[in-house]
Amino acid sequence: MQRICLFPGTFDPITLGHVDVIERAVKLFDKLVIGVGINSSKQPMFSLEQRTTWIEQVFKNDSRIVVTGYEGLTVDYCREIDASFILRGIRYVSDFEYEKAIADMNRMLMPDIETIFLTCSPLYSTISSTLVRDVIRNGGNAAMFMPKEVKF
């Protein structure tokens, strides 16, 4: 049985912190699905198509990584793609508290799906998509926070 993991997120845009977590996590699984979620409570800056294209370009040389868009409950999407694991990146203790609440809810909904937490490398711990979007909205150069494939 393949060890399939879903890394869900909005990736609006993908940052070097995301890339760090993905590059370390892919070694743990047979297949890593990066699920670009459509979240009704968030209004993304970049389209789903743009976000998935960027991620596909970043990881184009790794056949273990698949990029898809999805909508709805993450655990339902795990079932759809036969994923037994959910990956979440953690930067700070506050991230853990929020992510643990989601992981606990997911465990109650689907007890056989495990959530795996990976901490971000210290070099990238201050980078978030929210801060990157703020830099972009205000005309700043955010290139140092994103993979070179992210161009707009």
Mark whether 137 is an active-site residue: no
Mark whether 91 is an active-site residue: yes
Among the listed residues 18, 51, 88, 128, the single catalytic one is 18
Residue the block writes with tokens 């953690």 = 90
Mark whether 129 is an active-site residue: yes
**Phi, then psi, of 41 in degrees rounded to 5:** -90, -5
**CA separation for the pair 81, 79 (Å, rounded):** 6
What tokens were used for 127?
A: 């980078």
Mark whether 42 is an active-site residue: yes
Among the listed residues 51, 88, 128, 129, the single catalytic one is 129
Among the listed residues 51, 88, 91, 128, the single catalytic one is 91
Residues 6+ apart with CB under 8 A from 42: 10, 12
Among the listed residues 3, 42, 60, 64, the single catalytic one is 42
Beta strands (DSSP E) in 10-143 are 31-38, 65-71, 85-90, 114-119
Q: Report which residue type is found at 21.
A: V
By annotation, the residues acting in catalysis are 18, 42, 91, 129
